[in-house]
């Protein structure tokens, strides 16, 4: 009768091996993090089995008495965390949140200004991404490759000449604050809305350590909730706009781009936002401290960390040109064999280059900070990374050193409760 039990257990074993891998690895992917034990617990609840289409107290399903109270509480926490009058925690991912904003604030053939991929822009803002699928006319801002920032004077000229309906700011290589306040008068002159995709930096914004887009001139912020905000894989939209615009965004979310909105991850997001209200400022500051320290140390040891003129980074992310070490693909795969996990990444010199073979790597410090890395630990890590990249240590020995180092960091910080984030939880008996 249990013909495929073996296959099911094989999947379970892969999950256990994956946990073991990350328990023995140093995680430096800029778009990942680990949850607290209380947030993780929410994923295992009956919320994960249920539907709740629509807004609280206006459902299309019965059985939502406690769901409504939970969602009310999550919205309340989001408003406090972001000092915002409007919060929609229903999107199920960052790109889903982006699509909700796109459907709510644009019509096909309208014009939008957005960062270019070669300038760190996110794939959803590309012509083959969500903006393109909406049929929008996309105009890219000029980009300053030396400082890794949008060229403010060039962006002002572009906005005035093209008169977009919407201006988007936000990147997957988000090193420095976007020039919202610098361009505020320009937005008002052309009468466009302003959308800030905070997927990477929303935790830093919540911790009051990056910038304050809503006070600087943004109408809405979208974001994923599992990067610098150390919650579940989910999404959120935050607003400080007129009620008519906000209703358009909410309709863009539902029924625009989703039906049910994954109640267990919403509950986990609520727990995470409560934790960020208590611990977020200290956490965000330490993320940035670690990122700057790692950038400075790697640069001093011979890695081509970008934006040196601008202080390398003011976020969780740093980017390096590693062509002299074989390129992004070779370096990322070599580090992976030694249990240091990061990703190859396009950098500004990679115009029209194959994204599978880019010149750079991208590094994030939010997860290592979450498990307790200090600036001294980051310096130790930088030294080990350069030994590996420069072939001054065997991969076998390097892997052992990584495992030894990681063994000192097996508890989630800046949260309620204590747990090893990489431990496999066994429920099946």
Burial of 231 (0-12, 13-18, 19+ CB in 10 A): buried
| Residue at 358 is within a domain | no
Does residue 396 fall inside a structural domain?
Answer: no
**Contact yes or no for 419/36 (Cβ under 8 A):** yes
What pTM value is reported for the model? 0.96
Q: In this predicted structure, what is the pLDDT of residue 429?
A: 76
Number of domains in the chain: 1
Neighbours of 426 (CB within 10 A): 8
Other CB atoms within 10 A of residue 317 CB: 30
Closest by CA position to 279, among listed 196, 209, 225: 209
Confirm whether 62 is domain-assigned: yes
Q: How many CB atoms lie within 10 A of CB 236?
A: 29
Residues 348-398 have pLDDT tens digits of 888 778 889 999 999 999 999 999 999 999 999 999 999 999 999 999 999
Establish if 72 belongs to a structural domain.
yes
Q: Where are the beta strands (DSSP E) in 181-293?
A: 193-197, 220-226, 230-239
Q: Is residue 71 part of a domain?
A: yes
Predicted confidence at residue 235, as pLDDT, reads: 98
End-to-end alpha-carbon separation of the chain, Å? 18
pLDDT at 119: 66
φ, ψ of residue 223 in degrees (nearest 5): -175, 160
- Cα–Cα distances in Å, from 24 out to 21, 102, 367, 415, 418? 5, 40, 14, 22, 19
Residue 384 contacts residue 399 (beta carbons within 8 Å): no
Examine residue 296 and state whether it is found in any structural domain, yes or no: no
On whether residue 234 sits in a domain, the answer given is: yes
Parent domain of 73: 40-275
Residue 287 lies in a domain: no
3-state secondary structure of 139: strand
Count Cα neighbours of 257 within 13 Å in the Cβ-side half-sphere: 24
* The pLDDT value given to residue 30: 97
Distance CA 100, CA 353 (A): 31
CATH number for the domain including 47?
Answer: 3.40.640.10
Confidence label for 91 from pLDDT (cuts 50, 70 and 90): very high
Question: Is there a contact between 314 and 396 (Cβ–Cβ < 8 Å)?
Answer: no
Within 10 Å of residue 362's Cβ, how many Cβ atoms? 24
């Amino acid at each position: 009768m249990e013909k495929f039990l073996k296959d099911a257990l094989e999947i379970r074993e892969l999950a256990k091996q994956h946990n073991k891998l990350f328990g023995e690895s140093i995680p430096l992917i800029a778009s990942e993090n680990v949850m607290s034990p209380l947030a993780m617990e929410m994923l295992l609840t009956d919320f994960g089995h249920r539907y709740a289409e629509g807004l609280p107290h206006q459902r299309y399903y019965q059985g939502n008495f406690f769901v409504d109270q939970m969602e009310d509480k999550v919205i309340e926490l989001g408003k406090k965390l972001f000092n915002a009058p409007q919060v929609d925690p229903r999107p199920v991912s960052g790109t889903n949140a982006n699509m909700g904003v796109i459907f709510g604030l644009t019509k096909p053939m309208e014009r939008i200004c957005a960062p270019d991929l070669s300038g760190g822009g996110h794939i959803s803002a590309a012509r083959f991404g969500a903006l393109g699928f909406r049929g929008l006319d996309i105009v890219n801002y000029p980009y300053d490759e030396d400082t890794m920032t949008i060229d403010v004077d060039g962006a002002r000229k572009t906005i005035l000449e093209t008169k977009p309906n919407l201006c988007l700011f936000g990147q997957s290589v988000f090193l420095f604050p976007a020039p919202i306040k610098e361009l505020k008068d320009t937005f008002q002159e052309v009468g466009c809305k302003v959308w800030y995709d905070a997927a990477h930096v929303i935790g830093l914004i919540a911790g009051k350590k990056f910038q304050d887009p809503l006070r600087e001139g943004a109408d809405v912020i979208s974001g994923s909730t599992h990067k610098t905000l150390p919650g579940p894989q989910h999404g959120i939209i935050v607003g400080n706009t007129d009620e008519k615009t906000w209703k358009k965004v909410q309709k863009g979310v539902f029924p625009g781009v989703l039906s049910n909105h994954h109640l267990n991850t919403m509950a986990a997001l609520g727990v995470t936002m409560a934790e960020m209200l208590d611990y977020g400022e200290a956490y965000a500051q330490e993320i940035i401290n670690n990122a700057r320290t790692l950038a400075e140390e790697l640069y001093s040891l011979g890695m081509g960390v970008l934006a040196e003129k601008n202080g390398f980074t003011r976020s969780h992310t740093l980017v390096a040109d590693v062509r002299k070490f074989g390129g992004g693909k070779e370096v990322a795969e070599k580090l992976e064999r030694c249990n240091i996990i990061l990703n190859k990444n396009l950098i500004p010199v990679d115009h029209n280059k194959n994204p599978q073979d880019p010149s750079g790597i991208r590094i994030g410090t939010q997860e290592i900070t979450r498990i307790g890395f200090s600036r001294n630990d980051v310096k130790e890590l930088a030294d080990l990374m350069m030994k590996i990249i420069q072939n001054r240590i065997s991969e076998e020995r390097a892997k052992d050193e990584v495992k030894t180092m990681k063994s000192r960091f097996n508890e989630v910080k800046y949260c309620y409760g204590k747990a090893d984030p990489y431990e496999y939880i066994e429920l099946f008996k």
